[in-house]
Amino acid sequence: MIRLVRRPMPSRGWALATPLLAVLLTMIAGGLLFAALGKDPLVAIRTIFWDPIMGKNAFYYRSQLPVKAAPLVLIATGLALGFRAGIWNIGAEGQYIVGALCGAAVGLGFYPAEGWYIFPLMVIAGALGGFLWAMIPALLRVTFGTSEILVSLMLVYVAENLLASMALGAMKNPDGFGFPGSRNLSQYPAAANLEIWPGTGIHWGVIAALIAVICAYVVLARHLLGFQIKVTGLAPRAARFAGVDPKRLIVICLGVSGALAGLAGMFEVSGPSGIVSIDFNVGYGFTAIIVAFLGRLHPVGILLAALLMALTYIGGGIAEGQLGLPSAAILAFQGMLLFFLLALDVLTNFSIRLGSGQTRGGV
């Protein structure tokens, strides 16, 4: 008989090994899926994981990795701080949208003026927009005890409608013949978030993402706030005794993750996307939740996880185009990744025992 026995402490070894094992199992299960669709599984896996980095035309795909990964890193880093403390911001997608709208509003407001100060102001506006949007669930939670999970999630739909209204109304391009969508900010030099080194895909959002990772690492490893976050997540009662103010922590964690999501949206709307359009948001805020867990809520892990997710997007696109794989198969493939990761978490928290011995340290 196989039994699961809870470990006294989560296993560090398994915590590091499970992401790799999850990727491996995803490759195997995904390979079976692709084979069932009549495609060569080895070719499909190679197309997804190898071609974007080393294959023909990799010079282009490599430059797309940071473009796709940067918003994920920015958002997931912020989310992870809250998740560690048991504060669940599920509405990063909404904060991303509002950050983009605020950043774009500043840029469009200055159009067509020139000036070095316009872009920094947009950055501030973007962060502030995301921060304020996240303050709604934070303050409701702190004052009325509402669930920040539900409130932040519901606010995504509010933000989407706000986005549609902006794209169709206030921010509509006056030279756009009545079509929805704003002016293209990436074609307005003072507001454009362009590649810093052409051909590399590295724009200011990528730099901001790296800074966020470093800051989050330092905060978690060295700062009192990091200690408070960790201890709250592990033992909320003990945290209270250690002098942690849970309300303050909720406001800080939601505020920081909102600001980072807002920044991600702002860098996206002024750079790769360029336009405030009805369908501007493509789910980075939700994918970042997967990225945060895939990266074990650790800043460096998140960086790697975001690159892996970006790789599956880019490689998945290549596989769709070259092998004729349906896009649903790629989505299923990405879903498997999260599924295996969560399933394998059992190994981190439990040890497997064979036979029917006495339970030690059971709950």
Partner 1 sequence: MQRRQFLATTAATALAAATGSVAQAADKVKVGFIYVGPVNDGGWTQHHHEAALEMVETLGDKVEMVYQENVPEGPDAERAMTQMALDGANLIFTTSFGFMDATINVAAKFPDVKFEHATGYKTAPNVGVYSARFYEGRAVQGFLAGKMTKSNKIGYIASFPIPEVIRGINSAFIHARKVNPDVEFSVIWAFTWFDPAKEADAATALIEQGCDVILQHTDSTAPQAAAQKAGNVYTFGQAADMAEYAPMPRISSIIDVWAPYYIARTEAVLNGTWESDNTWDGIGAGMVGIGEISSAVPADVKAEAEALRDSIAAGEYHPFTGPLKKQDGSDWLAEGETADDGTLAGMNFFVEGLTGDIPS
Residues that bind partner 1 (CB under 8 A): 56-57, 59-61, 64, 67-68, 161, 164-165, 168-169, 172, 177-181, 184, 197-200, 268, 272-275, 277-280, 282, 313-314, 317-318, 320-322, 324, 326-328
CB of 1 to partner 1, least distance (A): 46
Q: Give whichever of 105 and 244 is closer to partner 1, judged by the CB atom.
A: 105
Q: Give whichever of 301 and 316 is closer to partner 1, judged by the CB atom.
A: 316
Give the C-alpha separation, 134 to 58, whole Å: 38
Beta carbons of 98 and 159 less than 8 angstroms apart: yes
CB of 55 to partner 1, least distance (A): 11
Backbone torsions φ then ψ of 2, nearest 5 degrees? -100, 130
Type of residue at 58: A
Q: Give whichever of 148 and 268 is closer to partner 1, judged by the CB atom.
A: 268
Those residues with Cβ within 8 angstroms of residue 298's Cβ, 6 or more apart along the chain or in another chain? 80, 220
Beta carbons of 346 and 15 less than 8 angstroms apart: no
DSSP-assigned states of every residue in 138-181: HHHHHHH---HHHHHHHHHHHHHHHHHHHHHTTT--TTSTT-SS
CB of 279 to partner 1, least distance (A): 5
Q: Give whichever of 82 and 274 is closer to partner 1, judged by the CB atom.
A: 274
CA-derived radius of gyration, the chain? 22
Taking each continuous run of H as one helix and of E as one strand, the counts in the chain are: 14, 2
Q: Give whichever of 169 and 355 is closer to partner 1, judged by the CB atom.
A: 169
Burial status of residue 182 (CB atoms within 10 A of its CB: 0-12, 13-18, 19 or more)? buried
Burial status of residue 217 (CB atoms within 10 A of its CB: 0-12, 13-18, 19 or more)? middle
Give the C-alpha separation, 214 to 262, whole Å: 19
Q: Give whichever of 172 and 230 is closer to partner 1, judged by the CB atom.
A: 172
Type of residue at 103: G
Type of residue at 196: I
CB of 327 to partner 1, least distance (A): 4
Q: Give whichever of 245 and 279 is closer to partner 1, judged by the CB atom.
A: 279
CB of 107 to partner 1, least distance (A): 16
Give the C-alpha separation, 239 to 228, whole Å: 7
CB of 154 to partner 1, least distance (A): 17
CB of 43 to partner 1, least distance (A): 15
> Which tokens hold the place of 184?
């293209």
